[in-house]
Amino acid sequence: MTGEAFSAVDVIRAKRDGGALTDAQIDWVVDAYTRGVVADEQMAALAMAILLRGMTPAETARWTRAMLHSGERLDLSGLPRPTVDKHSTGGVGDKLTLPLAPLVAACGAAVPQLSGRGLGHTGGTLDKLESIPGFRTALTDAEFLDQLRTVGAVVCAASETLAPADRKLYALRDVTGTVESIPLIASSIMSKKLAEGTSALVLDVKVGSGAFMQSLPDARTLAETMVALGEAHGMRTIALLTDMSTPLGRAVGNAVEVAEAVEVLAGGGPADVVELTVTLAREMLAAVGLTAQDPADALADGRAMDVWRAMVTAQGGDPDAPLPQAREVEYLRAETDGVVTRVEARAVGTAAWRLGAGRARKEDPVDPAAGVVLHRTVGDRVRAGDVLCELRTDDPARLPAAQELVAEAMTVAPTPPAAPRELVLDRITSG
């Protein structure tokens, strides 16, 4: 530790004992961890102390700033269009980025979407897109900027030079039980989005069994924290709290979600996916002053589909190529007449993961064809013997565990649910 401004142990103790870390301590520990001076086990101890003791708004803001300044920041100021992005905190069947980025681009904005991979029961946008034959998610900065200029939308992985401190800490949190810390979630998301250089951001903060934030108060706290961080750095930031008690749409997996996203772009698709896609698009366009066009029109007239095809082609994919198909398909059928009153999101997401659509560790491969396709969802009437859902996989040994999960996740009752599902639960701005 010779020549270092602080001792890692002293910083850990300060937070362990409930103290607030100073700006200098935060700047040092984030930088030292990025340089390898602070060891993984020391940062794991600090992350656990932060999870248990929390952070003040000032600490969270400084932590975010330190993560942002650990690497480069993209400069999008030379683009001819206003820039706006969307970030989802993750859910089951959440394929909204796929139709949303081309839709918003079709209405005049540039959408620089740096996305991630799935882990556990939540799917990753990059995994979904890589089920398209030839699609590249690793782009150079020059390719990224050129595609924003020419197409208006790009969905790819962040380069290793953007917020490298977050890249290290994100992986560590996942294996040390510290993912749920609101200050660490907020700083992780916002440091990457600020490094991306977009002028406005709309946050889709999921709430419910299939989300990281399962209670409305926790989700609201996270949303308020991220909105404040964005606004403090000069980025217009709005958050919507949206329901994740039931999967979004009918498809949960990789290729199956791409197929559903294409249905939405073609003017069809499940009503909930269409509604939330259009709602988020309106928020994104309003955030950068583009209110002359209704995004619903760009879905209906094919402009969004044109941008999707251009985006896929620009990233090496073939928009006309057949998507991967699973070798094994198993059907779950209703045992009685009635109405579907419950489709529990986390269990369905976990079933898709069990089928091979997700990963337990970051280095695990995914089966692009695996997943769950719902034939019925909440509010649908069924008769005994009707197909409730299908399970898709290339490995039949994966079917029994997934069948058990989905059977427990779906409830058929004699009477319909008491109230219709509300997709948008709240809207958070800086005031």
Q: Give the residue numbers marked as catalytic.
A: 87, 166, 173, 188, 192
DSSP-derived 3-state class of residue 312:
helix
Helix-helix angle 97-106:303-314, to 10 degrees:
110
17, 220, 258, 316, 330 from 262: Cα distances, Å = 52, 31, 6, 17, 24
Helix (H) or strand (E) holding 149: helix 141-150
- For residues 239-254, b (16+ Cβ closer than 10 Å) or e, as one string? bbbbbbbbbbbbbbbb
Residue 46 has a CB neighbour count (10 Å cut-off) of 24
Cβ-proximal residues to 347 (8 Å cutoff; 6+ apart), any chain: 209, 405, 406, 408, 409
Name the token pair of 199.
């002028």
Torsions phi, psi of 2, nearest 5? -55, 135
Looking up tokens 């073609």 gives 266
Q: What is the largest CA-CA distance in the chain?
A: 73
Tokens of 410: 């779906």
**Helical spans, DSSP H, in 266-390:** 271-287, 295-300, 303-314, 345-354
- Give me 284's structure tokens: 């994104």
The rounded Cα 381 to chain-centroid distance in angstroms is 31
Strands 371-374 and 387-393: antiparallel
Q: Which two tokens stand for residue 281?
A: 């698009």
Cα dihedral 258, 262, 268, 274 sign: positive
Tokens, residue 370:
């695996």
Strand partners, 207: 243
| Backbone Cα Rg of the chain | 22
Specify whether the CB–CB gap between 332 and 406 falls below 8 A.
Answer: yes
**End-to-end Cα separation, the chain, in angstroms:** 45
Pick from 324, 327, 251: which is nearest to 98 by CA?
A: 251
